[in-house]
Homo-oligomer: A and B are copies of this chain.
Amino acid sequence: MEFKIVGGSIVTMSEIGIVRDGCIIVEDGEIIDVGSRDIASRYPGYDKIDASGCVAIPGLINCHHHIAMGLLRGYADDLALSEWLEKWVWPFESKLTGYDIYVGALLTAVESILSGCTTVNTMYHYAPDYSEAKAIMDSGMRGVVGHVCFSWRREDDLKLTDHLYREWHGKDGRIRVSIDPHACYTVDPSYMVELHNLCLELNDKNHESPVTFHTHLAETEDEPVKVKKAFGVETGKSVVSYMENLGVLDEYTVAAHCVYVSEDDISILAKRRVKVVHCPVSNLKLSSGIAPIPAMLKRGVKVTIGTDSVCSHNRSDMFETMKFTALIHKGVCRDPTVMPAFSVLKAATISAAEALMWDKLGAIKPGYYADIAILDFRKPHLMPLYDEYSHIIYAARGSDVRYVLIDGKLVVDEGRITTVDVEWLLEEAVKARDSVLDRIHS
């Protein structure tokens, strides 16, 4: 399919900067030209998308998610963490069928795409029949999918991870697979090292599509205590230094949260080129705390953004998460100049593509994948316009997204998703919820 996106501003997040009254040419899944409106006439037969009054941005990249948890949104909130997990989340999850997982994942994928997110990095229990990978494939999205590993099911995990990798890695150019130890307090040190070695092995075999190493790190203050309790191991100064000592922190590592990190830990994260995923909404809602992101950025740590699941965020909307990211640190650091709008959009686009090691992603420029979100700015909350970055971060909402292209395909057209029958999906979601609740109460 060939498109010309004509008019409006193009926020390229590349050396091109912002092009006003511009034009983007898309062919065979790639951006082949970016310029002023005039270039449109060079591509006469291409399908035209009228972007007058709109702003095009690179599709947003959500670097930490559990998309399969779509059915749990609003099931339990405002509770202490242990009660939330033990009385609500885990019992519900134990009753989910493979199909329920698929429906929940598809629900989240559709929500994500509708709010301008084109790539997701997600971790959940993999099931060969229905999985997050299939939901991402069917929704038209791009994603990195991992099977979450725990010490208590080591053998099954390794089989499932292998199955996931063989079935899905590189599929359709839209799906990649990662190795996903849950966390250092649920994966014992030798298993952690084994999983990391598996990651390195797979990368040795395959230089085209890197396999990342996705884990939760330093989300809560008590992780050293939990490691000690689970495995009888002392983490020493911190879980970050413990993981470094295990030799599992490197450029493949995508570490979600990093709330409890010291200055020394930040040095380690920078030195080891770990990619940190900031999840401010989840961290606030679960009262985990506030990650010292400005300090990390100052020290050269690569920082990206994630929503986390809709169970701890309640909305898979990167616009909302970007606004929280831009604001929370201004309040905490008592400095209105930290986390300016551009830096936040960078974290959700080009930095995120680098974090997932996915080339040709995260910017609008020739040779890059045609993953583009187009926001309609002809609205009372977005006019007049002075600065595109400011409006994108501080004023726009996910619901302002009017068109989305992923891999060159038009997956959102005039605000409606083209890949999934939403009416059918909502009916399936309600049926799935009812059957899970029946199983819990029977």
Interface string of A271-314 (1 = CB under 8 A from B): 00000000001011111111000000000000000000010001
Known contacts A74-B394, A330-B287; A110 and B337 CB within 8 A of each other: no
A337 touches B384 (CB 8 A): no
B384 touches A333 (CB 8 A): no
A331 touches B287 (CB 8 A): yes
Report how far A225 CA is from B327 CA in the complex, Å: 26
Interface string of A355-390 (1 = CB under 8 A from B): 000000000000000000000001111011111001
A398 touches B397 (CB 8 A): yes
Q: A77-85, A170-178, A211-219, A248-256: which one contacts chain B?
A: A77-85
A327 (CB) vs chain B CBs: closest residue:
B284
Assess whether A336 is interfacial by the CB under 8 Å rule.
yes
Known contacts A336-B287, A395-B314; A380 and B114 CB within 8 A of each other: yes
Q: Which residues from chain B contact A330 at a C-beta distance below 8 Å?
A: 284-287
Q: A55-63, A161-169, A345-353, A424-432: which one contacts chain B?
A: A424-432
B285 touches A380 (CB 8 A): no
Assess whether A183 is interfacial by the CB under 8 Å rule.
no
A98 to B: closest C-beta gap in Å: 18
Report how far A84 CA is from B340 CA in the complex, Å: 14
Residues of A within 8 A of B (CB): 71, 73-75, 77-81, 84, 107-108, 110-111, 114, 281, 283-290, 310, 314-317, 320, 323-324, 327-328, 330-331, 333-337, 339-341, 378-381, 383-387, 390-391, 394-395, 397-400, 422, 425-426, 429-430, 432-433
